[in-house]
Amino acid sequence: MLRLIATRAGLGVLTLFAVSVLIFVCTQILPGDVAAAVLGQQATPDALRVFRHELGLDQPAYVRYFAWLLGVLHGDFGRALTNQRDIMEELWPRFVNTLFLAGYSAIISVPLAVGLGILAAIREGRPSDRIANILTLIAISFPEFFVGYILILLFAITFPVFPSLATVFPGMGVGERFYVATLPALTLTLVVLAHMLRMTRNAVLAIMSTPYVEMAFLKGLSRTRVVSRHALPNAAGPIISVVALDLAYLVVGVVVVENVFVYPGVGQYMVDAVTKRDVPVIQACGLVFAAVFVVLNTLADILAILLNPRLRRRR
């Protein structure tokens, strides 16, 4: 089992390395000239040549990649092209804000989705189960920005309970931070809740068709007891994978939500960098998002191995 866990962790590192190569290549093949975009149309050829030399753009791509990767491994993402500030100093507080928003949403969505998904599996085919399926299908069909604008219309304009702009700053109290971030957290919750609920229900129902569960029914056990004692422990692996994917989405998929509510997180920082064509910032944000996604999925695989005895041995 330890070898299998080490293999999954190693695959996670290789995946992150491959993603770093992809991020660097994609940012390098973007159309246009980075130096001209930063200096503007009035820049002289000599100024452009000097600026490209300062950025290292006159070096081969593989040299620039390994120099960038070595800096990342030492915690140095370089400097932003627009203001020459250290990217790590700018990125870290925004990353903390993004983690706070994702954690706030996860505290609401994960227990609610898993609990309602198990309840829907227990009451399969009943009116409550059908209503839950219809509502989750409708919720999945709505994009994040639409849900965010609806919540702003309802709870910031029609009924002014929460602010429409989620402006947080250093030194803000915890209670005030929770209050300001409520609407973006509810937006993310409604987006991931439906998917997590449906996948939890499907994972439990998939186990319900196995022979040992049918034998439990033949013994006269109630459906609630069969689900809680026999189906749910064996469905823990798929449920953990779904929760990990949705948690990763809460961190990675906040780009649209942060821009709707003007929330100072990594997503908004990345969008601003794309607008200004600040390639080092785009690379740093993309790598952070990829690292969060890979780490959470790797942890989900390891937890699935630990909880499911059937995954501890090779077939």
Provide the residue ranges of all domains of the chain, joining segments of one domain with +: 2-73, 93-311
Average pLDDT, the chain: 81
| 258-298 residue pLDDT tens | 888 988 888 888 888 888 778 888 889 989 988 888 888 88
Q: 14-28, 74-88, 185-199, 241-255: lowest mean pLDDT where? A: 241-255
Q: What is the pLDDT of residues 181-219, one digit of tens each?
A: 899 989 888 888 888 888 888 887 777 777 877 787 777
Q: Under CATH, what is the fold of the domain 93-311?
A: MetI-like fold (1.10.3720)
What is the rounded distance in angstroms from the CA atom of residue 58 to the CA atom of residue 61?
A: 9
Distance from chain centroid for Cα 138: 22
Per-residue pLDDT reduced to its tens digit, 46-88 = 777 776 777 666 777 788 888 888 888 888 888 887 777 888 8
**Integer Cα distance of 190 and 140 in angstroms:** 9
Expressed in angstroms, the distance from the first to the final Cα of the chain is: 13
In angstroms, the CA 75 to CA 162 distance is 37
Please tell me the pTM assigned to this model: 0.80
Please give the structure tokens belonging to residue 211: 């022979």
Q: Are 213 and 133 in contact (CB under 8 A)?
A: no
pLDDT tens column, 144-166: 888 889 999 999 899 888 888 88
